[in-house]
Structures are given as C-alpha cells and as structure tokens.
Amino acid sequence: MTNRTAFITGASRGIGRACAVALAEAGARVAVAARTRDQIEELAHQLRAQSREAVAVAMDISSAESIKEGLAKTAKDFGPISILVNNAGITKDGLAMRMKKDDWDSVIATNLTGAFLAIQQVLPGMMRERWGRIVNISSVVGEAGNPGQANYVASKAGLIGLTKAIAQEMASRNITVNAVAPGYIETDMTQGLSQELKDKMLEHIPLKRIGRPEDVAAAVRFLASEEASYITGHVLDVNGGLRM
C-alpha cells in the first residue's frame, strides 16, 4: 500500500477515522474527508505526528460540486487516488408510513448518491493506473432489513447493488470493488441507544460483544491490499455472527 493515496469519506470519527488510521499504518497516504474540518484537521495532524502522510479535505458528501472539488484537489495535490473508502453516512429514522420525503431524500443523497458520485470521480484515474480499490461501507441492515429505517436500509442495500455493478464494469481494469457490512459497532451513531436495547442486541450476537471501529477497519485494510487482488463484488460481514 506504500505510495498509494487513500481517500476516506466520513473520516472525522468512528469507523471512518479507524479506517484512516489503519490505512496510514499500512503505508498509504491518506486524505481524510468530512464536513467538520476541526476533527479531520486534528486527525491529519495526529497521523503526521506519527510520520504518516495525511491531509484533511473539507467535503460535503451530499453535494455533487463539493465531491468533485474535494477529490480533484486531492488528486492534484496528493497524487492519484488509488483507494476509495465510501464511509460517510447519516440516519433519519422513522416509520415508513410517516417518513417525510426530505428525510428519505437526504439519507439516500448522502449514503448512496454521494458514494456513487465519489466513485465516478476516482474511476478515470484508477483506469489510467490500471489499479484501484473501492470499499463501500454498507451495513447488516442492508442485508437483513430493520424496522423504522426504510431510508437507511434502502441506502445500504443500494450500496451492495452498486458494489456488484461497478465490480463487473471495472474488473478488466484491475479495479476491485467490495463492500463491508458492519453489524452493531460502538460508534457515536449507536451510543445513544438505551442499555436495554444494547443488551437485547447482544443476545443475538454469537460472539457476545459489541464490535469496535477497528474491527471494521481491519476488513477495509485487507480489501484495499494487494492480498485481496482476487476478491471483487464481495460483501464482507463484520458482525460477530449477528447475521450468517
């Protein structure tokens, strides 16, 4: 992974941050992107202090213009993007019957359309280099469904379909496209859940523990490596056995 440039969306915290750290430790130059500049600047500074190459990119994944600008500037200043991790995601939960169209649209725009637009931006460079790794962060709910999350589930299931379609389109160019589907991971997104709900979730996890962002990052690091060169169109579950 040495001398490869990796671009990670939603890198300010949780899974995205862990992915940035893991890829940097594997030798990649990392561009960490998010809307909150303070957090990504802090992460980039922390990585540089450990003699890693890192740059912060302020980017709104729900804006086509922001995506285009952020990725183009990174490629120009930091080198061609060889590894893309589409991690940025939001939730706006509610029962389907009462879900506002704006809540549907914003989740799909960020979680699915944003990932597609980011892929579009990096493909020409990967095709020129005849090497690329795209890893989309889906979710166990994209495979199994979840009540009260029709928009989020649809976006994460859509990412799996997108992964398989782009994998087939790009295979002849030595570009692999895979997805990682985390289960219940301890992040800011899940911290607000009640202890009762957490205990109920643990009952369904055979490994009997909540996942860590580093568990997901390890899977991403593998799929982005040379060792994973014969894997494409795959969905790697990181869920403690929650769904088999």
- Residues whose CB falls within 8 Å of the CB of residue 112, separated by 6 or more in sequence, listed in order: 154, 155, 158, 159, 162
- Residues whose CB falls within 8 Å of the CB of residue 33, separated by 6 or more in sequence, listed in order: 7, 8, 9, 10, 11, 40, 56, 57, 58, 59, 61, 70, 88
User: Is 184 an annotated catalytic residue?
Assistant: no
Which residue of the set 21, 152, 153, 185 is catalytic? 152
Active site residues: 152
